[in-house]
Amino acid sequence: IADVFDVDSDSHTRKPFGRVFYTQSKSLVFYAFDLDHQPGVKNASVFQVWGQKDFQSNGKPHPTNLGILYMDSESNRRWVLRSDDPRQLSEIDAVFVTVEPHGGSQKPTGKPLLYALLRKEANHP
């Protein structure tokens, strides 16, 4: 379990925030809260989750589309994405969210939000 926060240029925590439940190479559940409070987000935009290796031997990340977050609880402003593809999950060690055009994108075009490493010590006991 990892809590994920977005930070501003002064390293102050700001909305949105999220929580990732990850079982190595088996399952990933990514909850994100208050995503629609981001400046410049349009109603037609979607929130897309990407996975990638934190370090690539050639120095260039190759993000993998994990899917689009969907509204899980409107009253809590909570979005969720679930993935249980062992092949896909075994090839990533970090996840992040971007704002993309309606329908999603083939590669990230928006600013990364809520970046979380998956292969590090969990911040929960």
Residue 97's CB: how many other CB atoms inside 10 A? 30
pLDDT at 19: 86
Mean pLDDT estimate for the chain = 81
For residue 40, the model assigns a pLDDT of 66
Query: What distances in angstroms separate CA 66 from CA 23, 41, 61, 81, 110, one per listed residue?
Result: 15, 20, 15, 8, 15
pLDDT single digits (tens) 55-107: 655 667 789 999 999 998 888 888 999 999 999 998 898 899 998 988 899 99
Q: Is the pLDDT of residue 24 over 80?
A: yes
Q: What is the pTM of this model?
A: 0.80
Query: What's the rounded Cα separation, in Å, for the pair 31 and 21?
Result: 8
